[in-house]
Protein backbone atom coordinates (compact mmCIF):
# COMPACT_ATOMS: atom_id res chain seq x y z
CA UNK A 1 0.00 0.00 0.00
CA UNK A 2 1.37 3.41 -0.94
CA UNK A 3 0.00 6.31 1.08
CA UNK A 4 0.22 10.08 1.00
CA UNK A 5 -0.48 11.94 4.24
CA UNK A 6 -1.72 15.25 2.85
CA UNK A 7 -2.04 17.16 6.14
CA UNK A 8 0.66 16.48 8.71
CA UNK A 9 2.33 18.82 11.21
CA UNK A 10 5.75 17.24 11.16
CA UNK A 11 7.27 20.05 13.19
CA UNK A 12 5.28 18.80 16.20
CA UNK A 13 6.21 15.13 15.82
CA UNK A 14 9.32 13.07 16.49
CA UNK A 15 11.42 11.23 13.95
CA UNK A 16 9.91 7.99 15.19
CA UNK A 17 6.65 8.99 13.50
CA UNK A 18 8.49 9.43 10.19
CA UNK A 19 10.10 6.04 10.67
CA UNK A 20 6.80 4.31 11.39
CA UNK A 21 5.05 6.13 8.56
CA UNK A 22 7.76 5.01 6.18
CA UNK A 23 7.39 1.42 7.39
CA UNK A 24 3.65 1.58 6.74
CA UNK A 25 3.94 2.88 3.17
CA UNK A 26 3.77 6.65 3.48
CA UNK A 27 5.75 8.15 0.61
CA UNK A 28 4.96 11.83 1.07
CA UNK A 29 3.54 14.30 3.54
CA UNK A 30 2.33 17.87 3.12
CA UNK A 31 2.68 20.19 6.09
CA UNK A 32 0.45 23.25 6.44
CA UNK A 33 1.43 26.18 8.63
CA UNK A 34 -0.60 26.13 11.85
CA UNK A 35 -1.05 27.59 15.31
CA UNK A 36 1.94 26.87 17.53
CA UNK A 37 -0.13 26.77 20.71
CA UNK A 38 0.52 30.42 21.46
CA UNK A 39 -0.01 33.61 19.47
CA UNK A 40 3.13 34.65 17.66
CA UNK A 41 4.06 38.29 18.07
CA UNK A 42 6.45 39.13 15.26
CA UNK A 43 6.47 38.63 11.48
CA UNK A 44 9.97 37.22 11.81
CA UNK A 45 8.64 34.41 13.99
CA UNK A 46 6.42 33.35 11.13
CA UNK A 47 9.24 33.72 8.61
CA UNK A 48 11.52 31.44 10.59
CA UNK A 49 8.67 28.97 11.06
CA UNK A 50 8.01 28.93 7.32
CA UNK A 51 11.74 28.44 6.75
CA UNK A 52 11.75 25.51 9.15
CA UNK A 53 8.91 23.69 7.42
CA UNK A 54 10.03 24.50 3.88
CA UNK A 55 13.80 24.04 4.29
CA UNK A 56 14.57 21.84 7.28
CA UNK A 57 11.61 19.45 7.45
CA UNK A 58 12.19 18.08 3.93
CA UNK A 59 15.67 16.99 5.05
CA UNK A 60 14.30 15.30 8.16
CA UNK A 61 11.64 13.45 6.15
CA UNK A 62 14.14 12.45 3.49
CA UNK A 63 16.08 10.41 6.05
CA UNK A 64 13.11 8.04 5.98
CA UNK A 65 12.54 8.17 2.25
CA UNK A 66 9.51 10.44 2.63
CA UNK A 67 8.98 13.49 0.40
CA UNK A 68 7.94 16.57 2.35
CA UNK A 69 5.95 19.52 1.02
CA UNK A 70 4.60 22.53 2.89
CA UNK A 71 2.20 25.47 2.87
CA UNK A 72 2.28 28.97 4.36
CA UNK A 73 -0.44 30.85 6.22
CA UNK A 74 -1.35 32.87 9.27
CA UNK A 75 -3.53 30.63 11.41
CA UNK A 76 -7.11 31.84 12.09
CA UNK A 77 -6.36 32.37 15.79
CA UNK A 78 -3.45 34.64 14.96
CA UNK A 79 -5.54 36.41 12.33
CA UNK A 80 -7.04 38.38 15.23
CA UNK A 81 -3.92 40.52 14.82
CA UNK A 82 -4.60 42.12 11.39
CA UNK A 83 -1.43 44.25 11.40
CA UNK A 84 0.72 41.17 11.94
CA UNK A 85 -1.30 39.22 9.39
CA UNK A 86 -0.73 41.88 6.72
CA UNK A 87 3.01 41.94 7.38
CA UNK A 88 3.29 38.18 7.14
CA UNK A 89 1.20 38.00 3.96
CA UNK A 90 3.75 40.28 2.27
CA UNK A 91 6.36 37.50 2.68
CA UNK A 92 4.29 34.81 0.95
CA UNK A 93 5.58 35.34 -2.62
CA UNK A 94 9.11 34.58 -1.40
CA UNK A 95 7.90 31.23 -0.08
CA UNK A 96 5.74 30.45 -3.12
CA UNK A 97 9.04 30.38 -5.04
CA UNK A 98 10.51 27.63 -2.85
CA UNK A 99 10.76 24.18 -4.43
CA UNK A 100 8.42 22.35 -2.04
CA UNK A 101 5.87 25.00 -1.04
CA UNK A 102 2.45 24.17 -2.51
CA UNK A 103 0.32 27.17 -1.60
CA UNK A 104 -1.61 28.92 1.15
CA UNK A 105 -2.66 26.89 4.17
CA UNK A 106 -4.01 26.31 6.56
CA UNK A 107 -6.00 29.50 6.52
CA UNK A 108 -9.63 29.34 7.64
CA UNK A 109 -11.80 30.18 10.61
CA UNK A 110 -11.79 29.51 14.35
CA UNK A 111 -14.57 31.63 15.87
CA UNK A 112 -15.58 33.26 12.56
CA UNK A 113 -14.80 36.78 13.74
CA UNK A 114 -14.63 39.71 11.28
CA UNK A 115 -10.81 39.72 11.53
CA UNK A 116 -10.66 36.01 10.77
CA UNK A 117 -12.98 36.38 7.78
CA UNK A 118 -10.94 39.29 6.44
CA UNK A 119 -7.74 37.29 6.83
CA UNK A 120 -9.27 34.27 5.11
CA UNK A 121 -10.28 36.46 2.19
CA UNK A 122 -6.79 37.99 2.00
CA UNK A 123 -5.17 34.54 2.05
CA UNK A 124 -7.41 33.18 -0.70
CA UNK A 125 -6.90 36.35 -2.73
CA UNK A 126 -3.10 36.14 -2.65
CA UNK A 127 -3.27 32.43 -3.45
CA UNK A 128 -5.47 33.00 -6.49
CA UNK A 129 -3.31 35.92 -7.69
CA UNK A 130 -0.18 33.74 -7.54
CA UNK A 131 -1.78 30.58 -8.90
CA UNK A 132 -1.40 28.70 -5.62
CA UNK A 133 -3.45 25.96 -4.00
CA UNK A 134 -5.51 26.73 -0.88
CA UNK A 135 -6.09 24.64 2.24
CA UNK A 136 -8.84 25.87 4.55
CA UNK A 137 -9.27 24.86 8.19
CA UNK A 138 -12.85 24.68 9.44
CA UNK A 139 -13.50 25.18 13.17
CA UNK A 140 -13.64 22.46 15.77
CA UNK A 141 -16.59 20.96 17.61
CA UNK A 142 -19.50 23.30 18.25
CA UNK A 143 -18.12 26.04 15.97
CA UNK A 144 -17.81 23.82 12.93
CA UNK A 145 -21.23 24.15 11.26
CA UNK A 146 -21.38 27.92 11.48
CA UNK A 147 -17.71 28.33 10.56
CA UNK A 148 -18.02 26.13 7.50
CA UNK A 149 -21.06 28.11 6.37
CA UNK A 150 -19.04 31.33 6.76
CA UNK A 151 -16.14 29.86 4.80
CA UNK A 152 -18.48 29.04 1.94
CA UNK A 153 -19.98 32.53 2.11
CA UNK A 154 -16.56 34.19 1.99
CA UNK A 155 -15.47 32.04 -0.96
CA UNK A 156 -18.74 32.59 -2.81
CA UNK A 157 -18.02 36.32 -2.78
CA UNK A 158 -14.66 35.85 -4.50
CA UNK A 159 -13.47 34.84 -7.95
CA UNK A 160 -11.87 31.48 -7.12
CA UNK A 161 -10.96 28.27 -8.88
CA UNK A 162 -12.90 25.81 -6.73
CA UNK A 163 -10.89 22.81 -7.93
CA UNK A 164 -7.81 24.35 -6.29
CA UNK A 165 -9.41 24.82 -2.88
CA UNK A 166 -9.51 22.14 -0.18
CA UNK A 167 -11.87 22.59 2.78
CA UNK A 168 -10.55 20.37 5.53
CA UNK A 169 -11.91 18.80 8.71
CA UNK A 170 -15.41 18.28 7.26
CA UNK A 171 -17.77 16.00 9.13
CA UNK A 172 -21.18 14.51 8.46
CA UNK A 173 -23.00 17.83 8.92
CA UNK A 174 -20.66 19.91 6.76
CA UNK A 175 -19.50 17.68 3.91
CA UNK A 176 -22.44 18.00 1.55
CA UNK A 177 -22.51 21.80 1.09
CA UNK A 178 -18.74 21.84 0.49
CA UNK A 179 -18.84 19.04 -2.10
CA UNK A 180 -21.96 20.46 -3.75
CA UNK A 181 -20.19 23.82 -4.10
CA UNK A 182 -17.40 22.11 -6.07
CA UNK A 183 -14.53 22.21 -3.57
CA UNK A 184 -12.26 19.42 -2.47
CA UNK A 185 -12.90 18.28 1.10
CA UNK A 186 -10.82 16.55 3.72
CA UNK A 187 -11.60 14.22 6.61
CA UNK A 188 -9.24 14.69 9.55
CA UNK A 189 -8.98 11.70 11.85
CA UNK A 190 -8.41 12.46 15.50
CA UNK A 191 -8.81 10.12 18.47
CA UNK A 192 -11.63 12.14 20.05
CA UNK A 193 -12.32 15.62 18.75
CA UNK A 194 -12.72 15.21 15.00
CA UNK A 195 -13.77 12.45 12.61
CA UNK A 196 -12.96 8.80 13.29
CA UNK A 197 -11.67 6.18 10.82
CA UNK A 198 -15.00 4.35 10.74
CA UNK A 199 -17.00 7.51 10.19
CA UNK A 200 -14.60 8.55 7.44
CA UNK A 201 -15.22 5.27 5.61
CA UNK A 202 -18.96 5.76 6.08
CA UNK A 203 -18.70 9.11 4.33
CA UNK A 204 -16.55 7.66 1.53
CA UNK A 205 -19.21 5.02 0.95
CA UNK A 206 -22.03 7.56 1.07
CA UNK A 207 -20.50 10.37 -1.01
CA UNK A 208 -18.08 8.48 -3.25
CA UNK A 209 -14.38 9.20 -3.46
CA UNK A 210 -14.14 12.15 -5.84
CA UNK A 211 -12.59 15.31 -4.45
CA UNK A 212 -12.04 13.71 -1.05
CA UNK A 213 -8.79 13.66 0.91
CA UNK A 214 -8.21 11.80 4.17
CA UNK A 215 -5.59 12.85 6.70
CA UNK A 216 -4.72 12.50 10.33
CA UNK A 217 -3.19 15.94 10.72
CA UNK A 218 -1.15 14.96 13.77
CA UNK A 219 0.05 17.92 15.81
CA UNK A 220 1.24 18.77 19.30
CA UNK A 221 -2.13 17.93 20.87
CA UNK A 222 -3.86 14.54 21.28
CA UNK A 223 -3.49 13.14 17.77
CA UNK A 224 -2.21 10.05 16.06
CA UNK A 225 -0.78 9.96 12.52
CA UNK A 226 -1.69 6.29 12.25
CA UNK A 227 -5.41 6.89 12.32
CA UNK A 228 -4.90 7.25 8.56
CA UNK A 229 -3.64 3.69 8.32
CA UNK A 230 -6.46 2.61 10.64
CA UNK A 231 -8.89 4.15 8.16
CA UNK A 232 -7.27 2.32 5.27
CA UNK A 233 -7.61 -0.97 7.11
CA UNK A 234 -11.28 -0.26 7.87
CA UNK A 235 -11.84 0.63 4.22
CA UNK A 236 -10.27 -2.60 3.03
CA UNK A 237 -12.02 -4.61 5.70
CA UNK A 238 -15.35 -3.50 4.24
CA UNK A 239 -14.47 -5.08 0.93
CA UNK A 240 -12.91 -2.26 -1.04
CA UNK A 241 -10.03 -3.33 -3.23
CA UNK A 242 -6.39 -2.37 -2.91
CA UNK A 243 -6.76 -0.17 -6.01
CA UNK A 244 -9.84 1.50 -4.51
CA UNK A 245 -7.78 2.29 -1.41
CA UNK A 246 -4.91 3.63 -3.46
CA UNK A 247 -7.32 5.86 -5.36
CA UNK A 248 -8.38 7.51 -2.09
CA UNK A 249 -5.24 7.44 0.01
CA UNK A 250 -2.58 8.01 -2.64
CA UNK A 251 -4.06 9.09 -5.94
CA UNK A 252 -6.51 11.68 -4.67
CA UNK A 253 -3.70 13.58 -2.93
CA UNK A 254 -1.75 13.32 -6.20
CA UNK A 255 -4.72 14.76 -8.09
CA UNK A 256 -5.28 17.71 -5.77
CA UNK A 257 -1.72 18.54 -4.76
CA UNK A 258 -0.41 17.74 -8.24
CA UNK A 259 -2.22 20.80 -9.54
CA UNK A 260 0.94 22.49 -8.29
CA UNK A 261 3.63 21.03 -10.58
CA UNK A 262 6.11 20.92 -7.70
CA UNK A 263 4.10 17.96 -6.38
CA UNK A 264 5.30 15.57 -9.03
CA UNK A 265 4.18 12.25 -7.55
CA UNK A 266 1.89 10.58 -10.03
CA UNK A 267 -1.22 8.46 -9.42
CA UNK A 268 -0.50 4.75 -9.56
CA UNK A 269 -2.35 1.64 -10.56
CA UNK A 270 -1.38 -1.62 -8.86
CA UNK A 271 -3.96 -4.10 -9.94
CA UNK A 272 -5.99 -4.66 -13.08
CA UNK A 273 -9.78 -4.31 -12.79
CA UNK A 274 -11.47 -7.38 -11.34
CA UNK A 275 -8.92 -8.20 -8.64
CA UNK A 276 -10.50 -9.67 -5.47
CA UNK A 277 -11.05 -7.46 -2.42
CA UNK A 278 -9.63 -8.18 1.04
CA UNK A 279 -11.87 -10.71 2.82
CA UNK A 280 -14.12 -8.94 5.32
Partner 1 sequence: MLTSRQTVEAYFLEARHMLLEVAALLDRHAAAVAREGGATDGSSGGSADKLAVLREALAVLAADRCAGERTVKLLELFARV
Interaction site with partner 1 (CB under 8 A): 141, 172, 191-193, 196, 198-199, 202, 205-206
Give the span between the Cα atoms of 232 and 252, in whole angstroms: 14
CA distance 43 to 200: 37
CB environment 150-169: b (16+ within 10 A), e (fewer):
bbbebbeeeebeeebbbbbb
Distance in Å, CB of 122 to partner 1, minimum: 33
**Least Å distance between CB 104 and partner 1?**
30
- Residue closer to partner 1, measured from CB, 56 or 220: 220
Give the residue with the Cβ less far from partner 1, 78 or 171.
Answer: 171
- Pick between residue 131 and residue 239 the one whose CB is nearest to partner 1: 239
The closest of 94, 92, 149, 155 to 120, measured between CA atoms, is 155
- CB of 143 vs partner 1, minimal distance in Å: 14
Which residues contact residue 149 at a Cβ distance below 8 angstroms, ignoring those fewer than 6 apart?
A: 177
**Range 39-47, long-range pairs (CB < 8 A, 24+ positions):** 39/77, 39/78, 39/80, 39/81, 40/78, 40/84, 41/84, 42/84, 43/84, 43/87, 43/88, 43/91, 46/74, 46/88, 46/91, 47/88, 47/91
Could you give phi then psi for residue 195, rounded to 5 degrees?
-70, 160
- List phi, psi (to 5°) of 46: -65, -45
Give min distance, CB of 98 to partner 1, in A. 38
- For the CB of residue 197, give the shortest distance to partner 1 in the complex, in Å: 10
User: Residue 67 or residue 237: which is nearer to partner 1 going by CB?
Assistant: 237
d(CA 183, CA 204): 16
Nearest distance in Å: CB 184, partner 1: 23
Beta carbon nearer to partner 1, 39 or 205: 205
**Closest to partner 1 by CB, 192 or 273:** 192
CB of 192 to partner 1, least distance (A): 5
Output 179 or 203, the one with its CB closest to partner 1. 203
Measured in Å, how far apart are the chain's first and last C-alpha atoms?
Answer: 18
Amino acid sequence: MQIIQPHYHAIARTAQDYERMAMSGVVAVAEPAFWAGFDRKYPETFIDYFRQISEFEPTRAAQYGIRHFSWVAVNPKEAENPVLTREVLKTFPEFFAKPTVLGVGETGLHKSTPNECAALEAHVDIAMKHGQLVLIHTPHLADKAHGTKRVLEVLAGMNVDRERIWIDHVEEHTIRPCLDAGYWVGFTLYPITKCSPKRAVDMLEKYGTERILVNSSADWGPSDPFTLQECILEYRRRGHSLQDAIEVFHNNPCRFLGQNPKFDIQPIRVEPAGEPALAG
